[in-house]
Amino acid sequence: MSSSTDFVLAIEDLTVSFDGFKAIDNLNLYVDKNELRVIIGPNGAGKTTLLDMICGKTRASAGSIKFKNEEMTTLPEYARVRKGIGRKFQTPSIYENLSVFQNLEVSFPKGRSVIGAIFFKCTDEVLAKVDSVAKEIGLLETLHTEAGLLSHGQKQWLEIGMLLMQEPELLMLDEPIAGMSTRERDLTAELLKRISNNRSVIVIEHDMEFVKKIAHKVTVMHQGKILAEGSMDKVQNDPAVIDVYLGH
């Protein structure tokens, strides 16, 4: 319905069809301010497609996506970024030949292009922001390292940092710990918990140990719909969830 809500994200009756196949089928989802929500579900459930629709990469066939009470479905991707929706894709899109510092600096909202931003005179504001983000993502010691030389995990954190430079109020991450070592996974769990102290975060993840560590609430998707939702305990003991996902 079109009523006003306190949710950061309110999705209602959302549907997308690809040649008649409904990858997202009449889905409702509500995310609170400062909530860390994890979405799980079998391959092909529609998890990535849902994030694509929230960030504007894929247009809805029907339904509503409200971000802070404002309808997003008609807005292009860049406009949603400006409204405060940040999205991390599975493969990091960092500039390998720039330093960590430069990668963060070019992500400051005033730097519109790589070239423009490199020659953009560093203001104290930008420097302070780069510093605080680098600290948050654990890369303060590697600020002047070329990004291409970072470990796999550090590259993932750098991309999260690049998103944080824009101060998103909703940050979405698709399988952020894939390929990470145990130690990197633990650090990422801590990072995501810190990040969600002052913004909402949606994470798609398969690793149930990791999900258990970070999730406030878990949403289980299946065939473009929501199969179950609630605490980790609740969904883990739900027979329908065990049947389609956890039992395999």
Residues near ligand ADP (CB under 6 A): 18, 23, 41, 43-49
Q: Among residues 48, 154, 156, 196, which is the contact residue for Mg ion, using CB under 5 A?
A: 48
Q: Cβ closer to ligand ADP: 41 or 86?
A: 41
* Least distance from ligand ADP to the Cβ atom of residue 198, Å: 28
Q: Cβ closer to Mg ion: 206 or 216?
A: 206
Q: Within 28-179, where are the H helices?
A: 47-55, 77-83, 100-106, 114-118, 124-136, 152-164
Instruction: Write b or e for each residue in 21-47: b if 16 or more Cβ atoms lie within 10 A of its Cβ, otherwise e.
Output: ebbbbebebbbeeebbbbbbbbeebbb
* Least distance from Mg ion to the Cβ atom of residue 217, Å: 20
Binding flag, residue 58, Mg ion (CB under 5 A): no
Instruction: Write b or e for each residue in 130-157: b if 16 or more Cβ atoms lie within 10 A of its Cβ, otherwise e.
Output: beebbebbbbeebbeeebeebeebbbbb
Window of 46-54, 96-104, 128-136, 152-160 that interacts with Mg ion by CB under 5 A: 46-54
Q: Cβ closer to ligand ADP: 44 or 179?
A: 44
* Least distance from ligand ADP to the Cβ atom of residue 136, Å: 27
Q: At CA 219, angle to CA 216 and CA 220, rounded to 5?
A: 140
Per partner kind, with CB cut-offs from 5 to 8 A, the member of Mg ion, ligand ADP, none near residue 126 is none
Q: Cβ closer to ligand ADP: 46 or 63?
A: 46
Q: Cβ closer to ligand ADP: 48 or 103?
A: 48
Contact between 147 and 155 under an 8 Å Cβ cutoff? The reply is yes
Residues in touch with Mg ion (CB under 5 A): 47-48
